[in-house]
Structure 1
């Protein structure tokens, strides 16, 4: 029987790799510990992922609102805003997918799925792959911008301008959409009767192009599942390492010159360092969630048994890791950026609901009165 095996190079629908494997597949051992884990976790995955998605959707909306305030508009924040939008779109469609496939229905071909829902699954799959790849390259561009400023400060302000940030975002959106086009020709929706099953309903199978040219699907698997995950992670790790090393060396120099440094300059440098550490945290969290998937995909491409036994059974977990990565940035901003916290409090907490119209940075409180000061909008500031 023809089975549905959706793209394994990204978060969407990866768990269906296991759910649609037929019992007559000799490589599929249904009584293994990994398969038992898959079935047990699958019962709660819909609820867990929904909680993460709802938090991520709301938090990324808040990210966009805060980062687009006039005093917050910088090249770095421009990229972070694009990243928040990509993460928001990724989690928005996954929320619908998880609700349907893990709560309302089951991710199995035997269930009577309608044609409309199957087409939604296809569109969702293509959409989420495109959005997540955009988020990946937004993260890479963020690391590149910060590397240039920290490690090449003399030319940093010129190279990392707001116009260049907008241009970078535009190039990533257009290039990613173009590169992801081959994914759109992988699958098609058919009736179960066309699959040789005497049941009503619809499912997703390989397209005619894939059936005629199997290398087409294999090449896409290696390109998106391995290269497009492992290569950016290696690049991000190298950039982060160089940034951390440069900051460590600068910190040593600053300690020696601290006696000669003005207090205000010290405060600005401290905030710049906090901003850099926050951006490095965003990058490294991305690497932690993406690199294991790339490594597992690479091994799976070389060993069919590993694919069926481990990779397919960990699909839901890998989905959850990517969802967590898409939702965690708001928490990192709040923990590590004073300016983000102050702007957020001014918008949503301070004097609510009659908050001040001044969206500047909170400077302090005196006699119950909140005081504000103008916020620096240099490229180094979040």
Structure 2
């Protein structure tokens, strides 16, 4: 389910089926389809492994960032990211087990049961909302960090936990509203099939997800999803990444002439570098998905013949981004590293 959405393997076609079009004569498209068929059996195991690591890492992030002495404007946003990413990965695991590991990737009565597909719909709707919240929290953090560095007085006035919680609340509400069309567009369909090739018994059922017969709702949902949960946040992240880099260089020049508060300036710079790494990873993970969605809406058959074969790889890229922040915090934040070691080394000593 590319990018945790309902756009790839939950379409009316089976995961390995593609619409026939002029794309089939294209060598690169055929290569993509071949790659997809070869990679799909591996995807479940790889994705579950990344999810287990990511869930554990995000639990550690939440544990450390919410300790006494760690709560701050920036850390409240990072905690929100950890909660969003952890929920998304936790919801993804049961889907992977059912749809990739236990019953393979081909539709069947055992794989596509009513309960499994119902969970698939719920998972896709919730994970789309939660993952979009994560993206917009990253955008909001990048905007605030730039403003605080560029205009220090704004940072002094609004750089507090109350403002951070208010900003997070606004993001959650706005993203939930934007995702309403996606939440109501899809429904379940039951198809009766023979139990075997020589029998006419149609007692076996294969459940799947289909779109409601509402062209306007479908188009509204598609473009809102493509623009407001992928392309727009990706563009904003790229823009403010450049702004942060420029502002950091300017701050370095000013710091070279400073004799006071140099320690604070160095700590602020390390925090900005860490946040910049988080932002750039989000750009790398989300921009390809946004571009593919845009092309899918502009080029006939692009979705079925290019986007769908790349769906699982998009998911892997997104999962890595969701789970890698713990590594960034440990390597780039002395404060996070010290608190983590003090918490868990102390716990280890108690049980030794």
TM-based fold match above 0.5? yes
Change (3 A) 1:266 1:214: same
- Compute the displacement of 1:111 (Å): 4.3
RMSD: 2.4
**1:300 aligned onto 2:304:** no
Aligned to 1:368: none
Q: Deviations over 1:62-115 (max 9, x none)?
A: 000000011001011111111110000000011111111110123433443221
Aligned to 1:246: 247
**1:177 aligned onto 2:176:** yes
Distance 1:351 1:189 in 2: 48
Distance 1:251 1:234 in 2: 26
**1:136 aligned onto 2:110:** no
Tell me, yes or no, if the aligned pair for 1:225 and 1:294 is still in contact at 8 Å: yes
Aligned to 2:167: 168
Tell me, yes or no, if the aligned pair for 2:191 and 2:207 is still in contact at 8 Å: yes
Tell me, yes or no, if the aligned pair for 1:105 and 1:111 is still in contact at 8 Å: no
Unpaired runs of 5+ in structure 1?
A: 1-5, 356-382
Distance 2:18 2:288 in 1: 30
- Compute the displacement of 1:22 (Å): 8.0
**1:145 aligned onto 2:144:** yes
Aligned to 1:237: 238
Distance 1:254 1:198 in 2: 76
Select the residue among 1, 20, 25 that pairs with 1:26: 20
Aligned to 2:331: 335
- Compute the displacement of 1:24 (Å): 8.4
**Secondary structure of 1:20's aligned partner:** coil
Distance 1:99 1:120 in 2: 12
Tell me, yes or no, if the aligned pair for 1:191 and 1:200 is still in contact at 8 Å: no
1:194-213 → structure 2 map (5 Å cutoff):
198=202, 200-207=204-211, 210-211=212-213, 213=214
Change (3 A) 1:29 1:169: same
Change (3 A) 1:199 1:37: farther
Say which structure is richer in helix. Answer: 2
Aligned to 2:4: 11
Tell me, yes or no, if the aligned pair for 2:91 and 2:123 is still in contact at 8 Å: yes
1:1-382 → structure 2 map (5 Å cutoff):
10-12=3-5, 14-16=7-9, 20=14, 25-27=19-21, 29=24, 32-112=30-110, 113-193=112-192, 198=202, 200-207=204-211, 210-211=212-213, 213-257=214-258, 261-262=259-260, 265-350=261-346, 352-354=348-350
- Compute the displacement of 1:185 (Å): 1.7
- Compute the displacement of 1:59 (Å): 0.4
Aligned to 2:196: none
Distance 2:300 2:216 in 1: 16
- Compute the displacement of 1:13 (Å): 5.4
Distance 1:22 1:344 in 2: 44
**Secondary structure of 1:26's aligned partner:** coil
- Compute the displacement of 1:218 (Å): 2.2
**Secondary structure of 2:209's aligned partner:** strand
Tell me, yes or no, if the aligned pair for 2:121 and 2:209 is still in contact at 8 Å: no
Change (3 A) 1:106 1:201: farther
Change (3 A) 1:167 1:29: same
Change (3 A) 1:21 1:331: closer
Change (3 A) 1:219 1:106: farther
Q: Deviations over 1:352-375 (max 9, x none)?
A: 3339xxxxxxxxxxxxxxxxxxxx
Distance 1:266 1:44 in 2: 51
More moved, 313-322 vs 99-108: 99-108
TM-score by length of 2: 0.89
